[in-house]
Amino acid sequence: MTDSTAQEHFTLEIDADNIAWLTFDKADTGTNVLSLDVFAQLDRHLQEIATKRPRGVVILSAKPNGFIAGADITSFTRVTTEQQALDLLNTGQDVFNRLEALPFPTVAMIHGFCLGGGLELALACRYRVTRDDPGTRLGLPEVRLGIHPGWGGSARLVPLIGAIKAMDLILSGRTVDGRSGRRMGFVDLVVPERHLRGAARKLVMEAPPPCRPGFIDRLTNHVLVRPLLAGVLRKQVARRASRLHYPAPYAMIDIWREYANNKPAMLRAEAQSLAQLVTGATAKNLVRVFFLQEHLKSLGKDKTYQSRNVHVIGSGTMGGDIAAWCALRGFHVTLQDQSPDRIAPAIARAHRLFAKKLKKPEQIRAAMDRLMPDHKAQGVEQADVIIEAIFEDAAVKRSLYETIEPRMKASAILATNTSSIPLEELTPALKQPERLVGLHFFNPVSKMMLVEIVNGASTAPEISSQAMTFTRQIDRLPLPVSSTPGFLVNRILMPYLMEAVVLAEEGVPPALIDRAATTFGMPMGPIELGDTVGLDICLHVAEVLAGHFHAEIPANLRQLVADGKLGKKSGQGFYSWKKGKAIKPKPASGNWNLEEITNRLVLRMLNEAVSCLREQVVAEADLLDAGMVFGTGFAPFRGGPLNYIDAAGRDILLRQLRDLHTLRGERFTPDPGWEHLFES
Ligand code: NAI
């Protein structure tokens, strides 16, 4: 590990009242994070402060975006042995223990991010004062990276606010603002920005009693309560994640149950358990997913590109939700359809979205004001971005483009949300085909982070780059893909869905097929996914891609669609649906081989992933893995399909694929890309 002590990360000032102000401003970066060299300097400053015996010390950040965002994740990626991890953890614990032991008031003065190691540092202070705004976020989100706190986060939070509230924060990884932190009992003061310094000063000068747990909070850590509560917590976690795939939350519960009233033992257990986790496969893959996300974000960073007005054409399932999402993110949006009554349901849906996300009436009103129904298409002339989401019909789309192109601003982007039509079939309608790009959103827009940026043969690079920046501006993740049938995500997903349909046709109970996929780590089984997306849409995409898959479309799918059994939206598909939930009958016991079912589903998906990489649908393997994780929820703890092939062993999987080819036929033909996979 490098130790760049040459660069100063802190400044120390002692004011006229003898208060020490220690300002953290990590060199060469816009965000404060904790690393070995930061700990070394912090320790040096704390020793200096201790000898000067000030009235108190306030730790604050000079970064506009926040206090401390957590550990420098690259410190953990460089760790290869448990001992290295333990050294890093013990170093941090020692410094925080010394901070906690200072014999005068210590205050963490918090604005913006105060996450992971940042909150652990703040918890080692006697007081915490935060800025009063929704952008100030406190939390211990380590479980999202497959780990848990290791610098005393749980050992200090659990006794401070009790196990129920502390475990809620730690096991969910969710963040809260200062007010919630105060209600929960670990924030002392919440004040507007202009009073932050004054409030920190007051805490030092007056040294009031710090936060203390109430009776009930203390009771949650009682030796007789812990076994019961641990059982409840494990059950809650099990609903979201299995111990096999996500060991961190379970390890955290075990540590708390064993050591809740013994801080030194809990600190030791935190570090030992975390050292194991951080060197394990789940954490490595979740950290990989974190960096994949950062990589996608970095693709949309063209600072010179500004956009303000969006015009969406088609106010159906997708267009309506895209328009609402853009308005929610601050854009001025006009929404066009064939008539006002077609637009009205989308506006009502948008209101529900704003009410859920914004809560404050004035903000909801402002968002509604930003979304204008526009059946006369008056917004076209002002729009910086035009998003077309009308029927999936190339001729209809082309004739629409002919009418709007002459009215578009010279600088405007024209984007289509088509899910299957190659851009080359649409550009003949345009005088400037280089302006057309695909912005392929996924349903539901408000939940799915990924947007495929579809580059046709004539799409101009700057239009593609602007489309990626726009995608970031609406807080989505752009994935550049080539304009080939199904693009990336649907193309890889479809063979997996179709194999599930074949299995159902063979008589395997749908709930068992879904269980095979969720046990592998998919967020939802393929049968439930098909029903949720709509079986008519699945059939349509399958038809577009049929040529690729060496496989007939299963007759049961065609039959269900012909019978109007479209899934969730019609109340009946493979499953019956009640109140938005699939009724899954318990699978009758049969002679089903769950492992073979999983292999059939997963190998078809992996085979298509290899095919997409070979055909360069995306430029590199990491982009493919990122697309599948953020576009489908592909088991994040496996780090993406290609990462999984690498970990499980290419040769082993290829052999299984060949066996299935012999046994089950053409659709399992190994793609030629397997032969040269991972050869650089
Ligand atoms: P939809 O049928 O729900 O909505 C289409 C809307 O476009 C209708 O309200 C219709 O009145 C309007 N429209 C049709 N022609 C028009 C015209 N000339 N001018 C103005 N409005 C017109 O369709 P959906 O599902 O929203 O799909 C729209 C596009 O998004 C399609 O290209 C589809 O392939 C794509 N897509 C759909 C996804 C889905 O899950 N539904 C996912 C991703 C992409």
Q: What is the pLDDT of residues 393-445, one digit of tens each?
A: 999 999 999 999 999 999 999 999 999 899 999 999 999 999 999 999 999 99
Model confidence at 2, pLDDT cuts 50, 70, 90, reads very low
Q: Encode pLDDT of 433-461 as tens digits.
A: 999 999 999 999 999 999 999 999 999 99
Average pLDDT, the chain: 95
Nearest atom in ligand 1 to 534's CA: 40
Poorest-pLDDT segment among 77-86, 90-99, 161-170, 244-253:
77-86
Helices 594-614, 510-520: crossing angle, 10 deg rounding: 60
389 Cα: distance to centroid of ligand 1 (angstroms): 5
Nearest atom in ligand 1 to 314's CA: 7
Ligand 1 and 540: CB distance under 6 A: no
Nearest atom in ligand 1 to 396's CA: 18
Ligand 1 and 494: CB distance under 6 A: no
Nearest atom in ligand 1 to 441's CA: 43
Q: Encode pLDDT of 156-200 as tens digits.
A: 999 999 999 999 999 999 999 999 999 999 999 999 999 999 999
Return the structure tokens found at 624.
Answer: 């493919």
Nearest residue to 240 (alpha-carbon basis) of 139, 357, 143: 143
447 CB-near residues (< 8 Å, 6+ apart): none
Q: Encode pLDDT of 460-518 as tens digits.
A: 999 999 999 999 999 999 999 999 989 999 999 999 999 999 999 999 999 999 999 99
593 Cα: distance to centroid of ligand 1 (angstroms): 41
Ligand 1 and 641: CB distance under 6 A: no
Helix (H/G/I), strand (E/B), else coil: 191: strand
**3, pLDDT greater than 60:** no
Helix (H/G/I), strand (E/B), else coil: 163: helix
Return the structure tokens found at 303.
Answer: 């600072």
User: Can you name the residues that pair with 12 across neighbouring β-strands?
Assistant: 22
Place of tokens 């179709």: 498
379 CB-near residues (< 8 Å, 6+ apart): 309, 311, 333, 334, 336, 372
**636, pLDDT greater than 70:** yes
User: Which one of 376, 387, 390 would you pick to mutate in the ligand 1 pocket, going by the greatest count of ligand atoms within 8 A of its CB?
Assistant: 390
**1, pLDDT greater than 70:** no
Ligand 1 and 417: CB distance under 6 A: yes
Ligand 1 and 380: CB distance under 6 A: no
Considering only CA atoms, which residue is closest to atom 20 of ligand 1?
Answer: 337
Please tell me the predicted confidence (pLDDT) of residue 431. Answer: 97
Considering only CA atoms, which residue is closest to atom 16 of ligand 1?
Answer: 390
DSSP character at residue 29: S
538 Cα: distance to centroid of ligand 1 (angstroms): 15
Kindly report whether the peptide bond that precedes residue 444 is cis, defined as omega within 30 degrees of 0.
Answer: yes
Nearest atom in ligand 1 to 342's CA: 9
**547, pLDDT greater than 80:** no
Across 285-312, b (16+ Cβ under 10 Å) vs e yields bbbbbbebeeebbebbeeeebebebbbb
Ligand 1 and 400: CB distance under 6 A: yes
Please tell me the predicted confidence (pLDDT) of residue 302. Answer: 86
Ranges assigned E (strand) in 531-617 = 576-578, 581-583
349 Cα: distance to centroid of ligand 1 (angstroms): 16
Q: What is the pTM of this model?
A: 0.90
Ranges assigned E (strand) in 89-174 = 106-110, 113-115, 127-131, 137-139
392 Cα: distance to centroid of ligand 1 (angstroms): 6
CA dist 491 and 498 (Å) reads 11
Nearest atom in ligand 1 to 318's CA: 26
CA dist 607 and 496 (Å) reads 10
Ligand 1 and 320: CB distance under 6 A: no
Higher pLDDT, 392 or 415: 415
DSSP run (H or E) holding 24: strand 19-24
User: Which one of 315, 391, 402 would you pick to mutate in the ligand 1 pocket, going by the greatest count of ligand atoms within 8 A of its CB?
Assistant: 391
| CB atoms near residue 46 (< 10 Å) | 22
Place of tokens 């050292």: 275
415 Cα: distance to centroid of ligand 1 (angstroms): 13
CA dist 187 and 181 (Å) reads 5
Ligand 1 and 318: CB distance under 6 A: yes
DSSP character at residue 670: P
Given a contact cutoff of 8 angstroms between Cβ atoms, the answer to whether 566 and 535 are in contact is yes
Considering only CA atoms, which residue is closest to atom 14 of ligand 1?
Answer: 390
**4, pLDDT greater than 70:** no
- Cα-based angle 354, 138, 174 (whole degrees, multiple of 5): 60
400 Cα: distance to centroid of ligand 1 (angstroms): 13
Ligand 1 and 537: CB distance under 6 A: yes
Amino acid, res. 70: G
Nearest residue to 201 (alpha-carbon basis) of 12, 41, 14: 14
Amino acid, res. 142: E
